[in-house]
Structure 1
Amino acid sequence: MTDDNVQSFVIGDVEVLRIMEWQGAFVPARQLVPGCGPEVWKEDEEQLVPGHWEPDGGMAVMALQTWVVRSAGRTVLVDTGVGRDRERPGNPLFHRRQSDLPGRLLRAGVDPREVDVVVNTHIHADHVGWNTHDADGEWAPTFPGARYLVPAADAHHFGPEGGYGGGVRVDDRLLYEDSIAPVHRAGQAVVWDGEYRIDEHLVLEAAPGHTPGSSVLRLESRGERAVFAGDLLHSPVQILHPECSSCFCLDPRQAAETRLRVLERAADERSLVVPAHFGGGGAVEVRKGRGGFTLHRWAV
Structure 2
Amino acid sequence: MTDDRVQSFLIGDVEVLRIVEWQGPYVPAATLVPECGPEVWDAHEAQLVPDHREEGGDRAVVALQTWVLRSGGRTVLVDTGVGDGRERPGNPLFHRRQGDFLRRLERAGIRPRDVDVVVNTHLHADHVGWNTVDAGGEWAPAFPRARYLLPAADDRHFGPAGGYAGGARPLDRLVYEDSVAPVHRAGLAELWDSTYRIDEHLVLESAPGHTPGSSVLHVASRGERAVFVGDLVHSPVQILRPECNSCFCLDPAQAARTRWRVLERAAEERALVVPAHFGGAGAVEVRAAAHGFRLHRWAV
d(CA) in 2 for partners of 1:286, 1:123? 26
2:8 maps to 1:8:
yes
RMSD: 0.9
Give the equivalent residue in structure 2 for 1:121. Answer: 121
Give the equivalent residue in structure 1 for 2:206. Answer: 206
Give the equivalent residue in structure 1 for 2:37. Answer: 37
Amino acid of the residue matched to residue 33 of structure 2?
V
**Equivalent runs, 1:80-95 vs 2, <5 Å:** 80-95=80-95
> Is the 2:7–2:18 contact (alpha carbons within 8 Å) kept by the matching residues of 1?
yes
Give the equivalent residue in structure 2 for 1:163. Answer: 163
d(CA) in 2 for partners of 1:248, 1:146? 29
User: What is the Cα deviation at residue 135 of structure 1?
Assistant: 0.6
2:156 maps to 1:138:
no
**1:5 to 1:166, Cα distance in 2 relative to 1, 3 A:** farther
2:215 maps to 1:193:
no
d(CA) in 1 for partners of 2:54, 2:139? 38
> Is the 1:79–1:118 contact (alpha carbons within 8 Å) kept by the matching residues of 2?
yes
Amino acid of the residue matched to residue 22 of structure 1?
W
Give the equivalent residue in structure 1 for 2:260. Answer: 260
Give the equivalent residue in structure 2 for 1:28. Answer: 28
> Is the 1:90–1:170 contact (alpha carbons within 8 Å) kept by the matching residues of 2?
no
> Is the 2:4–2:104 contact (alpha carbons within 8 Å) kept by the matching residues of 1?
no
2:88 maps to 1:79:
no
Amino acid of the residue matched to residue 135 of structure 2?
A
State which drifts further: 285-294 or 182-191. Answer: 285-294
- SS of the aligned residue for 1:54 comes to coil
Give the equivalent residue in structure 2 for 1:235. Answer: 235
> Is the 2:33–2:244 contact (alpha carbons within 8 Å) kept by the matching residues of 1?
yes
Runs of 4+ in 1 over 6 A off after TM superposition: none
Give the equivalent residue in structure 2 for 1:248. Answer: 248
Amino acid of the residue matched to residue 109 of structure 2?
G
**TM-score, normalised via structure 2 length:** 0.98
Amino acid of the residue matched to residue 13 of structure 1?
D
- SS of the aligned residue for 2:180 comes to helix
User: What is the Cα deviation at residue 280 of structure 1?
Assistant: 1.6
Amino acid of the residue matched to residue 85 of structure 1?
G
| Number of residue equivalences | 298
Q: What per-residue deviation string (whole Å, max 9, x for no partner) do you get for residues 207-246 of structure 1?
A: 0000000000000000100000000000000000000000
Q: What per-residue deviation string (whole Å, max 9, x for no partner) do you get for residues 41-66 of structure 1?
A: 01101100110002522000000000
- SS of the aligned residue for 1:99 comes to coil
d(CA) in 1 for partners of 2:99, 2:214? 25
Q: What per-residue deviation string (whole Å, max 9, x for no partner) do you get for residues 67-120 of structure 1?
A: 000000000000000000000103221000112221110001111111000000
> Is the 1:5–1:21 contact (alpha carbons within 8 Å) kept by the matching residues of 2?
no
d(CA) in 2 for partners of 1:111, 1:201? 23
d(CA) in 2 for partners of 1:291, 1:38? 18
- SS of the aligned residue for 2:182 comes to helix
d(CA) in 2 for partners of 1:286, 1:84? 34
**TM-score, normalised via structure 1 length:** 0.98
User: What is the Cα deviation at residue 281 of structure 1?
Assistant: 2.1
- SS of the aligned residue for 1:86 comes to coil
> Could you list the runs of 5+ residues in structure 2 that have no partner in the other structure?
none
Give the equivalent residue in structure 1 for 2:97. Answer: 97
